[in-house]
Amino acid sequence: MFLFETEQKVCEVGGVRFGGQPGQYPTVVCSSIFQKGDRIFEGKRKEGFDEKRAGELLRTQDKLWAETGVPGMADVVANTGKEFELYIDFVTSVSDMPFCVDAWQMKPKLAGAAYCAEKGLLDRMFYNSITVWEEDLETEIREIAQIGVKHVLLVAFDMADQMPSGRITGTQKLLGAIEKAGAKFESVFVDTSVMNGPATAFCSIANRMIKEKWGFPTASAPSNGSYMWNQAREFWGFKGWSAADAGLESLASFMYHDMIFSGPMAGATRIFPAVAMADAFTATAAFAETKRLPELETHPLNKLFPDFVEQLQGM
């Protein structure tokens, strides 16, 4: 039920390995910082940010990583190259976690990637992202290849086909553009793009299809759906909404997501435990089929449920 006949690729960004067969590695949680509306700006983005609060967010995520075994990455969001320089310098001064450069437009993304190259950070940075809607796609691919970017995320979608099959079409288009540009990257992984909670199911199905076809590690951003579900807050308040958010993230983790984009880093305290349980769940399900346990000592199943693991080893 779980294993793939296709050989599964494993990516490594900043020492964090992800991909492979279900249950082999923990799900990576990539949470955003410096995004629009982040409270570290106190509503005044142009006047800098609250370094104390930003540092607390990063250190809290590192602590949760150590406690749960779920790896964390930072989705560094910026609007300009200068912002990327400021934010990247800050993140790397506080934490060793891997990170990505994330911007809506190509120019600042390229500037962020170039700055990482200048600072010798390309091993722990991935490019977020190469998208099907970029008008000058081949130019972008050539630019990041020339910069020396090693790890890239593809965002696959097809407006003409919003079923899982459209994500396959989108992935093929992006892979074709990479090939046409003559670019080579150490790591390629795919975000199957979602804009509401239930549609994350389409991502999970598309992710399975992508893993079956190419073996790539896969991802999506379930938080896009949960953070737009305002009705949940109106019905049940923050606690009810946050339960739905954590539930959606953990469901995605179980269903063919090697990475999730989990929204603002402030939510890490609820997301990491939820994903840790989902990862333990996935690894146990894989054990039922394979009788193999995760090799990583820090995998959430091994780290958080050692008595149960000992019981499984005796079966």
Check whether 78 has a pLDDT greater than 80: yes
CA angle at 255 for the pair 251 and 256, rounded to the nearest 5°: 135
In this prediction, residue 179 carries a pLDDT of 97
Placement of tokens 């009705």 in the chain:
231
Average pLDDT over residues 12-25: 98
**Residues 54-74 pLDDT 10s:** 999 999 999 999 999 999 999
Strands 10-13 and 16-19: antiparallel
Break the chain into its structural domains and give their ranges. 10-313
Q: Give the three-class secondary structure for 257.
A: coil
**Residues 285-310 pLDDT 10s:** 999 999 999 999 999 999 999 999 99
> Could you please report the per-residue DSSP string of 78-97?
-SSHHHHHHHHHHHHHH---
Q: Does an H or E element contain 219, and which?
A: strand 218-220
Between helices 164-181 and 200-213, what is the axis angle to 10°? 50
Q: What is the pLDDT confidence band of residue 43, given thresholds at 50, 70 and 90? A: low
**Residues 95-131 pLDDT 10s:** 999 999 999 999 999 999 999 999 999 999 999 999 9
- Write down the pTM of the prediction: 0.96
Matching CATH number, 10-313, of 3.40.50.12780, 3.90.170.10, 3.20.20.20, 3.40.50.720: 3.20.20.20
Of the candidates 94, 34, 39, 64, the residue with the CA atom closest to the CA atom of residue 269? 64
Of the candidates 175, 180, 174, 125, the residue with the CA atom closest to the CA atom of residue 147? 125
Q: What is the pLDDT confidence band of residue 199, given thresholds at 50, 70 and 90? A: very high
In this prediction, residue 258 carries a pLDDT of 98
Check whether 44 has a pLDDT greater than 70: no
Contact 204, 256 (CB under 8 A): yes
